[in-house]
Amino acid sequence: MSNTVNVTINNMPVKVAPGTTILEAASKLEIRIPTLCHFKLDTFDFEHRTGSCRICVVEVDGKQNLAPACCTPVHEGMNVKTNTIRVINARRTILDLILSDHPKECLTCEQNGSCQLQDLAAEMGLNKIRYAGKTSTYKIDLANEAIVRDMNKCIMCRKCEVACNEIQTVGVLSGVNRGFNATVGTVSNRPLSDTKCVFCGQCVAACPVGALSAMNRSYDVWVALNNPKKKVVVQTAPAVRAALGEEFDFEPGTSVTGKMAHALRLLGFDAVFDTDFAADLTIMEETTELIERVKANKNLPLLTSCCPGWVKFFEHQFPDLLHIPSSAKSPQQMFGAMAKTYYAKKIGIDPSDLIVVSVMPCLAKKYEASREEFSREGVRDVDIVISTRELAGMIKEAGILFKNLEDQDFDNPLGESTGASVIFGSSGGVLEAALRTAADWLTGEDLEAVDYEPVRGLSGIREATVKVAGMDLKVAVTSGLGNARKLLEKIQKGEADYTAIEIMACPGGCLNGGGQPFIHGDTSILDKRRDAIYAEDKGKPIRKSHKNPDIIKLYDEFLKEPGSELAHKLLHTKYITRDNT
């Protein structure tokens, strides 16, 4: 059997492997075929082909019926036409029918400017609705702090369902009803807050329209900034600086840390801090816990707990393993706790008069900040969480010329950070940061080797054995909850002998969070964001968390030592068993 197939597309010959789809073959000739439902993520070796939207139809061998290019495999001698009048009319009719049952509120839609349906309508020159008639009406789900679900905008591409069920294996979303009433829903049409949704936001990232969007809190930030009775501070997560520039026409992979700090000051924040400081603090607590477990050979493997989507996932689906995740809070919540105690005391302000705003790449961080255990006496540790996209919107709304800004530094004492903290934004970064500190503490030396490259990367499950102080520490790193499920099932069956496992809910880690600028399937952007993160790490004068002078000062002045009674009270948490229906 030949290992190539000869195909002709628009009178141009091309050789491709058997099993190649028409869409893939056309891309080799740089022929663009429009799609809506096609879902492909090259970095994660994932592709879902449904052909449900039919926007990608083409003529094949002159047959009467048009074929969906995304899921039709080529055959020897196939003759494809992608641009005949019949194909163009069919695509326009399909798009007209989709638009006939779609709200016309583009100007006020969260997805305005990043909507693939909007782009297709413009590309095809559709400037009026040809098929006016009955439209669907659904109640908008606003019952949580992270995600808005507006099925009035659903076009039944089912990408969200694929992200939720096949990539993340959470199992919340499913196609319901038939015909005109078909949509994607939850069991018994419950709000997301009443399901096992983990608010990772991968459904939002997958949605080509505005049926799923982030709960926008930027107006709440404006209100806070204009309240003279409140002091408003902001923290920014490591992954934000590697992606924010894309919203201002910087090349993907451009780190804009200094410009971001400057822009935040211009927006009116009283102090601009770095979540990286709290990432260093997380390493102090989490690594202390890891070493204690290794020495006691108990409750291994330790699972990292920085990702709230991942935390909620195991609370719902693996309650029998609640004893092995680290009890350390995430950097976001550690920062909030330190801001409302240590920092508030330093500046002589009541915690209730201090508003902490977080800029995060992740929609689950919005949910995390609302968890009951992350507040004391009615005062939340983190008051408002906005995404990278929301921050970009605020900067634009304020008329700030971001590209022209000079670089500025973060404020202190909660702004100093190390290279170990900035790599938290990429899959593998948390574990590598922990290994840098664990190696020094276990050997009692200041080791020069700090790069643990085997744990780096974006795809799949990565394993490594790291020799530290004469011990072999077997570690694993994974991102995407589908991969996390595989590891947890191995642990349940007693088939895993890892020392530590880093898990992030979003494929690729925080760089690919649901609040980041949309990549629309172009996973090469994630590689560039990752490179920016590690370049910043390389450029830091200090690359180990326990060497951060402000972290040392924090323990000397306030917390005393890692794992102390006060540290456990403010920086650690407990997990609960949640309903899995």
Q: What are the tens digits of pLDDT across the range 27-61?
A: 999 999 999 999 999 888 888 888 889 999 999 99
Out of 71, 306, 307, 362, pick the active-site residue: 306
Work out the mean pLDDT of the chain and round it to a whole number. Answer: 95
Tell me if 131 is assigned to some domain.
yes
Local structure of 541: helix, strand or coil: coil
271 with 324, same domain: the answer is: yes
170 with 70, same domain: the answer is: no
Residues in CB range of 366: below 8 A, 6 or more apart: 145, 146, 199, 214, 215, 217, 360, 385, 387
CA distance 43 to 525: 10
Phi and psi angles of residue 380, each rounded to the nearest 5 degrees, phi first: -70, 145
Q: What is the reported pLDDT for 386?
A: 98
Q: Tokens 């038939």 sit at which residue?
A: 178
Residues in CB range of 18: below 8 A, 6 or more apart: 1, 2, 3, 4, 5, 73, 74
Residue 289 annotated to the active site:
yes
Residue 286 annotated to the active site:
yes
Residue 495 annotated to the active site:
no
Residues 355, 233: contact at Cβ < 8 Å? Answer: yes
CA distance 427 to 534: 11
In terms of residue numbers, what domain contains 63? 5-95
297 with 357, same domain: the answer is: yes
Using pLDDT thresholds of 50, 70 and 90, give the confidence band for residue 130.
Answer: confident
Out of 37, 417, 510, 544, pick the active-site residue: 510
Out of 373, 397, 453, 565, pick the active-site residue: 373
Residues in CB range of 354: below 8 A, 6 or more apart: 230, 231, 233, 339, 340, 343, 344
Beta 67-68 vs 147-149: how paired, if at all?
unpaired
Out of 59, 368, 416, 432, pick the active-site residue: 368
Out of 329, 365, 366, 547, pick the active-site residue: 365
Residue 368 annotated to the active site:
yes
Distance between alpha carbon 187 and the CA centroid of its chain, in Å? 24
Q: What is the reported pLDDT for 470?
A: 86
| Tokens read off for 408 | 């500025």
Using pLDDT thresholds of 50, 70 and 90, give the confidence band for residue 346.
Answer: very high
55 with 134, same domain: the answer is: no
Tell me if 29 is assigned to some domain.
yes
Nearest partner of 246 among 97, 86, 391, 445, judged by Cα: 391
87 with 119, same domain: the answer is: no
Listed in sequence order, the DSSP H helices in 327-470 are 331-338, 344-347, 364-369, 388-397, 419-422, 429-443
- Torsion of the alpha carbons at 318, 323, 324 and 330, rounded to the nearest 10: 90
Using pLDDT thresholds of 50, 70 and 90, give the confidence band for residue 118.
Answer: very high
Out of 24, 247, 286, 416, pick the active-site residue: 286
Residues in CB range of 558: below 8 A, 6 or more apart: 341, 342, 566
CA distance 118 to 111: 9
Give the CATH number for residue 420.
3.40.50.1780
CA distance 262 to 272: 9
440 with 517, same domain: the answer is: yes
293 with 333, same domain: the answer is: yes
141 with 89, same domain: the answer is: no
250 with 135, same domain: the answer is: no
Q: What is the reported pLDDT for 394?
A: 98
The dihedral of CA 187, 191, 193, 198: what is its sign? positive
**pLDDT over threshold 80, residue 250:** yes
Question: Domain count of the chain?
Answer: 3
**pLDDT over threshold 70, residue 545:** yes
Residue 160 annotated to the active site:
no
Q: What is the reported pLDDT for 160?
A: 95
What is the DSSP-derived secondary structure letter of residue 526? H
Q: What is the reported pLDDT for 127?
A: 85
CA distance 121 to 34: 11
The dihedral of CA 277, 279, 285, 290: what is its sign? negative
Tell me if 576 is assigned to some domain.
no
Give the CATH number for residue 110.
3.30.70.20
Tell me if 406 is assigned to some domain.
yes
**pLDDT over threshold 80, residue 133:** no
- Of the three residues 214, 239, 260, the one that is the final residue of a domain is 214
Q: Tokens 């650690």 sit at which residue?
A: 572
Give the CATH number for residue 80.
3.10.20.740
Residue 372 annotated to the active site:
no
Which tens digit of pLDDT belongs to each residue from 422-475?
999 999 999 999 999 999 999 999 999 899 999 999 888 999 999 888 889 999
Tell me if 580 is assigned to some domain.
no
Tell me if 514 is assigned to some domain.
yes
Which tens digit of pLDDT belongs to each residue from 254-312?
999 999 999 999 999 999 999 999 999 999 999 999 999 999 999 999 999 999 999 99
Q: What is the reported pLDDT for 580?
A: 84
Tell me if 226 is assigned to some domain.
yes
- Of the three residues 173, 193, 214, the one that is the final residue of a domain is 214
Q: What is the reported pLDDT for 44?
A: 86
The dihedral of CA 49, 52, 55, 59: what is its sign? positive
- Of the three residues 95, 120, 144, the one that is the final residue of a domain is 95
pLDDT > 90: percent of the chain: 88
Residue 115 annotated to the active site:
no
Nearest partner of 116 among 141, 139, 98, 136, judged by Cα: 98
Instruction: Output the 3-class SS for 403-425.
Output: HHCCCCCCCCCCCCCCHHHHHHH
**pLDDT over threshold 80, residue 574:** yes
195 with 247, same domain: the answer is: no
Residue 340 annotated to the active site:
no
Out of 24, 161, 285, 289, pick the active-site residue: 289
Out of 305, 326, 417, 459, pick the active-site residue: 326
Using pLDDT thresholds of 50, 70 and 90, give the confidence band for residue 134.
Answer: confident
121 with 260, same domain: the answer is: no
For residue 31, is it left (φ>0), alpha (ψ between -120 and 50) or beta? beta
Dump the DSSP string for 42-101. Answer: GGGTEEE----S-TTEEEETT-SS-EETTT-B--TTEEEESSSHHHHHHHHHHHHHHHHT
298 with 175, same domain: the answer is: no
Average of per-residue pLDDT across 183-203: 94
Q: What is the reported pLDDT for 1?
A: 56
Tell me if 66 is assigned to some domain.
yes
Taking the CB of residue 29, how many other CB atoms lie within 10 A of it? 16
